[in-house]
């Protein structure tokens, strides 16, 4: 595997064409350290092979942009419409998601040829200045950036199951200038009527709006994320064996699956290690705990005498936070210890579980056509996470961004920030 990868995100002043090329190139750089065998295997039904991510993000541009806005375009292979459709019922039937690892053919080289054809056709379309498809192209780029993160999530899960514990890329730490953030402290927020949700001309997914008013009761929010040391104390105090801390469904889930620690943690004698994209590493006490489910996050919060923030509270708190943090472009690919003062780690490091179900905002309507299936039809049995993570492209995040996963999901970079009511 390669030991030199650059993850730089496209800069805001790039032209539309240069941004398109930069995003497409980054996806291929993320897959480059992987062997063809790495790129073909599917480690579980919720994950997808890296090769499939390369193909699906290409299928998106071919299906929703080129077929409509480039009449002379000819499909690379008509069979790909079935193989690489994800969940768009309006487009047609598709290969079952749990069986994506069975697609040994086409191989990686053919998928890369597919990417080259579609990229070249898209370059011609963008060069012609077709403004009618500009919004679709921007959606396709943010869709591909979502899959850049998914590719890393999925390959991390796959490599963790290999007894050799292979390294995807050497771990990059902050060095000697990295200063841990110290004891947990709190920031208080007053009650009041405010507005949340996206409301500007910049890109946002449809589920981030419309902007609407919410009433906020007074609350306090932790200035940093929960650390591995704090979570280890929950484990040592039998947190996984005490049902009083758990939601009923969470207790059943943890018991049935034999959870005793976050995903990727393993105990060697009296010490914890954690599998990372840089291989198996000693657990650092000051790093944010990562790869916990929503059930585990809620149980830890109750054990700590606190709760998880509501997504409206999180967005209010993040309103004046700079959109900078430990994200994909840092190259670390792992949560970093908190540093500085005030609210920290709101952007990057880990996606923060909230106590809010993923439902439509007041006034929300799904976009027409197949694109309307992008977000709206998943608004059931999932919870909202906020803030991005160490695998999120830096120019992909917003404070209004609503990620969502079911409560039992652990393979994404999910972590914990505590909140509490002010009485």
Q: Residue 231: pLDDT band by 50, 70, 90 thresholds?
A: very high
Q: Which of 6-10, 28-32, 86-90, 342-346 shows the lowest mean pLDDT across its residues?
A: 6-10
For 196, list phi and psi in degrees, rounded to 5.
-130, 165
Peptide bond before 58: cis, by omega within 30 degrees of 0?
Answer: no
Angle at 369 between CA 367 and CA 372, to 5 degrees: 40
Single out the residue of 375, 334, 28 nearest to residue 153, CA to CA.
334
177 pLDDT tier (thresholds 50, 70, 90): very low
Predicted model pTM: 0.94
| pLDDT tens-digit readout, 27-42 | 999 999 999 999 999 9
Dig out the tokens for 397 from the structure: 């995040």
Q: Where are the domains of the chain?
A: 16-160, 186-421
Beta pairing partners, 189 = 219
Q: DSSP E strands: which ranges in 293-395? A: 351-357, 383-386
Architecture of domain 186-421: Alpha-Beta Complex (3.90)
Contact 372, 366 (CB under 8 A): yes
**Percent of the chain predicted with pLDDT > 70:** 95
At 423 the pLDDT is 81
Written as six digits, the tokens of 57 are 């993000």
The mean of the pLDDT values for the chain is 94
């Amino acid at each position: 595997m390669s030991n030199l990868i650059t993850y730089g995100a496209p800069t805001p002043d790039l032209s539309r064409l240069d941004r398109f090329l930069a995003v497409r190139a980054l996806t291929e750089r993320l897959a480059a350290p992987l062997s063809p065998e790495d790129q073909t295997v599917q480690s579980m039904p919720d994950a997808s092979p890296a090769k499939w991510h390369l193909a699906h993000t290409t299928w998106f541009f071919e299906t929703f942009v080129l077929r409509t806005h480039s009449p002379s375009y000819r499909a690379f292979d008509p069979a790909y419409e079935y193989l690489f459709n994800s969940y768009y019922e309006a487009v047609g039937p598709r290969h079952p998601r749990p069986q994506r690892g069975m697609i040994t053919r086409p191989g990686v080289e053919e998928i890369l040829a597919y990417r080259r054809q579609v990229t070249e056709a898209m370059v011609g379309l963008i060069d012609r200045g077709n403004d009618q498809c500009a919004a679709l192209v921007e959606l396709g780029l943010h869709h591909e950036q979502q899959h850049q993160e998914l590719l890393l999530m999925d390959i991390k899960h796959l490599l963790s199951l290999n007894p050799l514990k292979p390294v995807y890329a050497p771990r990059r730490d902050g060095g000697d200038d990295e200063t841990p953030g110290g004891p947990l402290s709190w920031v208080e927020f007053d009650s009041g009527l405010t507005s949340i949700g996206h409301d500007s001309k910049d890109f946002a997914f449809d589920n981030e709006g419309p902007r609407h008013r919410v009433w906020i009761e007074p609350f306090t929010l932790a200035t940093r994320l929960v650390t591995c040391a704090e979570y280890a104390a929950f484990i040592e105090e039998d947190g996984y064996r005490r049902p009083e801390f758990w939601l009923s469904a969470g207790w059943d889930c943890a018991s049935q699956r034999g959870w005793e620690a976050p995903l990727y943690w393993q105990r060697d004698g009296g010490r914890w290690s954690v599998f990372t994209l840089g291989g198996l590493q000693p657990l650092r006490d000051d790093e944010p705990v990562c790869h916990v489910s929503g059930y585990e996050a809620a149980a830890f919060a109750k054990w700590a005498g606190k709760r998880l923030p509501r997504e409206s509270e999180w967005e209010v708190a993040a309103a004046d936070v700079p959109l900078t943090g430990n994200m994909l472009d840092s190259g670390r690919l792992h949560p970093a210890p908190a540093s500085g003062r005030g609210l920290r780690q709101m952007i990057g490091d880990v996606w923060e579980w909230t106590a809010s179900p993923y439902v439509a905002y007041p006034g929300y309507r799904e976009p027409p056509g197949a694109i309307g299936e992008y977000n709206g039809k998943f608004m059931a049995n999932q919870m909202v996470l906020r803030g991005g993570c160490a695998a999120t492209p830096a120019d992909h995040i917003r404070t209004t961004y609503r990620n969502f996963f079911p409560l039992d999901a652990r393979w994404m970079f999910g972590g914990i920030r505590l909140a509490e009511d002010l009485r």
